[in-house]
Structure 1
Amino acid sequence: MGARWIKISVMYFAIALAFGLFMHYTVQLQWKATHAHIGVLGWLSTGFIGLIYSFYKEAAETALAKAQFWFYNIGLPFLLVGMMMVYLDVPHWLFEFCVSGGGIAVAFSAVLFVVNIFKHVKCTSS
């Protein structure tokens, strides 16, 4: 499971770089919050989750980890597209569906991650 998270994070890294270049060369800096979320939630958080699950393999194979994976990786694209809709002329319901639906899915995924880590990662004393 850890390798999956890391591979997805690398895709978000490439998207963040490309989006940043797009913003720079078109001087459309209003997209900065979306760019930051691609980098932080897409690249950094996803990669860090992958590293944690690579180290704690027993936590990575639980039903909680699998549910977390799907909620996060379905919700995050909706959230990011919804954030871009702020500056586009789209129906308000579509904007709300993407931002709220995606945001709630990502937040729920974060809760599952916290529960999974506390439940399945054991402290060892040396």
Structure 2
Amino acid sequence: MKGAIWIRLAALYLIIGVLVGLFMSYTLDLQWDSAHAHVNLVGFASTALFGVIYSVYPKAAVNSTGKVHFWLHNLGIPIFLISAFLVQVDNLLDAAHILTYIGGGAFFLGTLFFAYNAFQYINDSSTK
């Protein structure tokens, strides 16, 4: 998928991350700090960085490896981030761990596809 799609999704994660931060500041309930950090790092920063990389190397974004990376990342991250919030809720730790393994596993597999893509398809001659 094109880099612009990644960047738009990253913008949504940034909004969510800022809202969680504002909620914690308003309520002084800082138990959500880990989830807040994960939304900003895994949701916003990694998604935005992939978007920038795929904007610079558009051929890598549209090949089958790039498409698999997109779907694993964007299906895995919301599941993983939900688990980051649920781990803070009493009696939901087991469910949170299951979601962590599913979402985090998809994110990890997507990252492997990205790494393969980077070594196979990203080079000086593959820019626009």
Structure 2 vs 1, CA of residues 97 and 112 (structure 1 numbering), >3 Å: closer, same or farther?
Answer: same
How far apart, CA to CA, are the structure 2 residues paired with 1:117 and 1:8?
21
Counterpart position of 2:108: 107
Shift, 1:91, TM fit: 4.3
Q: Is the 8 A contact 2:38 2:84 kept in 1?
A: no
How far apart, CA to CA, are the structure 2 residues paired with 1:12 and 1:110?
18
Shift, 1:83, TM fit: 1.2
In the alignment, structure 1 segments of 5+ residues that lack a partner are: none
Counterpart position of 1:120: 121
Deviates more, 1:77-86 or 1:4-13: 77-86
TM-score, L = length of structure 2: 0.91
Counterpart position of 2:8: 7
In the alignment, structure 2 segments of 5+ residues that lack a partner are: none
Structure 2 vs 1, CA of residues 23 and 91 (structure 1 numbering), >3 Å: closer, same or farther?
Answer: closer
Counterpart position of 1:31: 32
SS at structure 1 position matched to 2:25: helix
What is the identity percentage for the equivalent residue pairs of Structure 1 and Structure 2?
35
Counterpart position of 2:65: 64
SS at structure 2 position matched to 1:72: helix
TM-score, L = length of structure 1: 0.93
How far apart, CA to CA, are the structure 2 residues paired with 1:37 and 1:98?
14
Counterpart position of 1:88: 89
Shift, 1:92, TM fit: 4.5
How far apart, CA to CA, are the structure 2 residues paired with 1:107 and 1:33?
19
Counterpart position of 1:45: 46
Q: Number of matched residues?
A: 124
Shift, 1:123, TM fit: 3.6
